[in-house]
Structure 1
Amino acid sequence: MLTLFGHIARRSLAIAVLICYAYQLRYFIASHWKSRKVHDAGPLRDYAVLIAARNEAAVIAALIQSVKHQSYPASHLDVIVVADNCTDDTADIAREAGAVVYERSNRQLVGKGYALGWLFRQLESDHRSYDGYFIFDADNLLDENFVLEMHKVHNAGYPIVTGYRNSKNFGDNWISSGYALWFLHESQLLNRGRMHSRTSCMVSGTGYLISQDLLERLGGWHFFLLTEDIQLTAECIVRGEKIGYAERAVFYDEQPTHFMDSVHQRLRWIKGYFQVFKIYGEPLIGRLGKSGGFAAFDMLMSYLPAFFVMLAAMAMGVGMMALNIAAAGNISEALTSIGLFAFKSTIVIFALGVYTMISEHKQIYMPIRKKIWCCLTFSIFMFTYGPIAIAALFKQVNWTPVPHHVDTSISAIKRQQNVKA
């Protein structure tokens, strides 16, 4: 009887995983078989690069310089920094680098979303108007053609566009490489597949462009949850606004290298997912079956199901163990089931890491030995999401900044490919 119960439970879990993620096979096929449309630049537009920075003196000058060196005409591109609750000389360094700087002090409403909302109000009161706004974190770096490539997709009719997210400290350790591989997977498998499937892409953190027209349709900037990027994505999908992806628009950000910094960041992300789905879950479900319904389904499936599938797997293992002990004092079947699930999950995650590493190898500037090591440790990084997700259910989470220290340049990142392992 217990064997039958275990068999049914495992089959049910496998079916749940299939329902949640089988549709992404469409993105895999589309990203490889669909032709890549090359967009024309079209008429020039005026853009502002907006940077929310809190105590980012170590890295902000490099970002501003990478903006100043864009192939897009400088006369159509302003750099504007909101120095948010800074206690260092971020504001002075940004001004010296050529940015317009606004200084904000508010210890109650903290976080990137609040800082951007305040900055948009300041720009409006100062009568600064642009066709669109690039949103960056201070630790980012831009490839010289980033703005031009984003502009092309924007001119093709997308009111919001996200870029190709790479990492400037990819090979520092297993934590930074875990983040980096996942973000490349989001960019080049998911968002590229979505773009080629003509459904909406998704914004992830930073490195995106939002038009002034869209901001007006949305009623201004009002994205203040712990994950303001996911909130913005959900709002756009509910309203039927399609997000584009510019795969040739490459930017880099810095990943955490200390485990507790990573824990705090991912706690905020997962808590933010809960906040978003509490507000937008019902409207997204209501969108199903209508125009843009597939994007709504994608949004619903992309975040929370993985968490609940993991909880179901853990509950199944504990339940099997308890039943076996109650029936015969034997826990071997339960342990075998748990071990088999963990092994299969490890293989799947490892394969995902290897596929991403191979498909994006030209954009990953590390020696081959480091690349192999990053693939081997990717499963470990992804499994650490389990206890973090469970903690997020019960823990009060507030926005806290992640420290950034990697002061480098695009050319320095690309030279790493030639360094011996």
Structure 2
Amino acid sequence: MVDILLYVFLAVQIAACFYLLLPFLFLITSSVMPVSESDRAMASGMADEGQSDQETGIVCVITAYKEKEFAFLLVDSLLKQKYGKFHIYLVADRCEAEDSDPKNQKLSILYPDAPLDSKVSSLRMAMSEIDASVYPYTLVFDPDNLAHPKYLQELNALLMQGYKAVQTRRTAKNLNTNMACIDAAGEHYYHITQRLAPFRLGSSATIAGSGMAIETSLYSQLLDETQKSFAEGEVIVAEDKILQNHLIELGHIIAYAPNAVLYDEKVVSAAQVQRQRTRWINSWFGYFKEALSLAGFGVKRASSNALLFGLMISTPPLFLMLLAGGFLAVLSWLLTPSFAPWMSAAVLIFGLTFMVSLMLAQADRRIWKALVSVPLFIFRQLMAMLNIKKANTSFMETTHEKRLTIEEVIFDIGEFKRVKG
């Protein structure tokens, strides 16, 4: 019996080593890959070269739940784009129309007659207004986002290459607390290991929940299918994960546009970390089986895109990787000393991969300084695990606090770069 348990423990360690080393393998293999056409486009800044005198019609859809004032700041940043062919639909759920609402020919504000209480329902409401022949692509935002002035130009450079789906780069708009900085560190890590590296390897970038552009007719179809698969009134957890899995199963590559920068509000307090991560952790547990099924689908169909993507999205959240890796490394010295050096090496390589990712992403020095608060960040996520069942029955929206304009965000980033230099 003891021998069987030791073999089980060894199998767990091997699985843990695989997931700890997977980001490193993505990173190292993508760094030695030949430069692709997409890489050349991104490196040369196709938007500056004028390739994109030819503009693709883009609809920008913003889903605002009780917080349309934040969305107005995003609208302002979009109206300042150096791009012509776009329109904005703002779905203001549980909000009231006011005389002070912004007016612009490129903006349509939709107020549902009855509360929707669902991001998917809000998206479907906007999609019903869109003419796909005029706007072939739909770009989705959260209300707390802000778009860089060249955002749509840079995105257009990838859309012109014919991709059906493109994820843009999300980065922090606020680094005002240690919690916000650590949240931003995670965004940098995923930018490198789950978006840029896989795309360079010919696979797909993960969808981040906002800042993704999808062919309008395809997106409308996928949203309808998603809605039909859930009972009326049921909370749809992680619609972005459902969407990306469908895209991969259909044979599409989700492209990545690292030069199209979208600023995203990061959690500022430990309590916010716990609430937000409750949804995220629940979605990982809920879709782990589907992720492995997608990898199996890739093997069956000889699709490297589906195989690599399925393995990547089955990777546990960062904090679970750190905790489980550290715990197993210590335990392995006691129970399986012959494997302990390998387990410890995997944990070390994972930590180095995280640090290298921050360096490659040129993380702000405030992020580096905030890493001392990682234990508190992890503790709050452990607390979030105790509430994951609540995420199946509650919308659990994140409350936003930082009302910043795009000019303020860009100035803040520029000031810190100037001081650092």
Asked if these proteins are the same fold (TM beyond 0.5), I'd say yes
What residue is the counterpart of 1:295 in the other structure?
Answer: 306
Contact persistence 1:350–1:378 (CA under 8 A): no
In the TM superposition, what is the alpha-carbon distance from 1:347 to its structure 2 partner?
6.1
Using the size of structure 2 for normalisation, the TM-score is 0.78
- Consecutive unaligned residues in structure 1, runs of 5 or more: 321-331, 335-339
Alignment of 1:358-397 (within 5 A): 358-361=359-362, 364=363, 366=364, 368=365, 370-378=366-374, 380-382=376-378, 384-392=380-388, 396-397=392-393
> Identity across aligned pairs (percent)?
18
In the TM superposition, what is the alpha-carbon distance from 1:399 to its structure 2 partner?
1.1
The answer to which of 219-228 and 233-242 deviates more is 219-228
In the TM superposition, what is the alpha-carbon distance from 1:288 to its structure 2 partner?
2.4
CA 1:189–1:271 in 2, change beyond 3 Å: closer, same or farther? Answer: closer
Contact persistence 1:154–1:161 (CA under 8 A): yes
CA 1:33–1:300 in 2, change beyond 3 Å: closer, same or farther? Answer: closer
In the TM superposition, what is the alpha-carbon distance from 1:390 to its structure 2 partner?
4.9
| Aligned mates of 1:21, 1:288 — CA distance in 2 | 22
What residue is the counterpart of 2:135 in the other structure?
Answer: 130
Alignment of 1:115-154 (within 5 A): 115-123=122-130, 129-154=134-159
In the TM superposition, what is the alpha-carbon distance from 1:409 to its structure 2 partner?
2.8
CA 1:315–1:105 in 2, change beyond 3 Å: closer, same or farther? Answer: farther
Alignment of 1:1-400 (within 5 A): 11-34=10-33, 35=35, 36-38=39-41, 40-41=51-52, 43-73=54-84, 76-86=85-95, 92-95=100-103, 99-107=107-115, 109-123=116-130, 129-169=134-174, 171-215=175-219, 218=222, 220=224, 222=226, 225-277=236-288, 282=293, 285-303=296-314, 305=316, 351-361=352-362, 364=363, 366=364, 368=365, 370-378=366-374, 380-382=376-378, 384-392=380-388, 396-400=392-396
In the TM superposition, what is the alpha-carbon distance from 1:416 to its structure 2 partner?
2.9
- Consecutive unaligned residues in structure 2, runs of 5 or more: 228-234, 336-340
CA 1:83–1:192 in 2, change beyond 3 Å: closer, same or farther? Answer: same
CA 1:103–1:88 in 2, change beyond 3 Å: closer, same or farther? Answer: closer
| Aligned mates of 1:354, 1:252 — CA distance in 2 | 22
Contact persistence 2:71–2:143 (CA under 8 A): yes
CA 1:219–1:117 in 2, change beyond 3 Å: closer, same or farther? Answer: closer
Contact persistence 2:16–2:325 (CA under 8 A): no
Contact persistence 1:60–1:94 (CA under 8 A): no
In the TM superposition, what is the alpha-carbon distance from 1:231 to its structure 2 partner?
1.1
In the TM superposition, what is the alpha-carbon distance from 1:395 to its structure 2 partner?
6.8
CA 1:27–1:94 in 2, change beyond 3 Å: closer, same or farther? Answer: farther
Higher relative contact order (CA 8 A, sep 6+): 2
In the TM superposition, what is the alpha-carbon distance from 1:381 to its structure 2 partner?
2.3
| Aligned mates of 1:209, 1:140 — CA distance in 2 | 15
Number of equivalent positions: 394
| Aligned mates of 2:328, 2:257 — CA distance in 1 | 42
CA 1:343–1:276 in 2, change beyond 3 Å: closer, same or farther? Answer: closer
SS of the aligned residue for 2:226 comes to coil
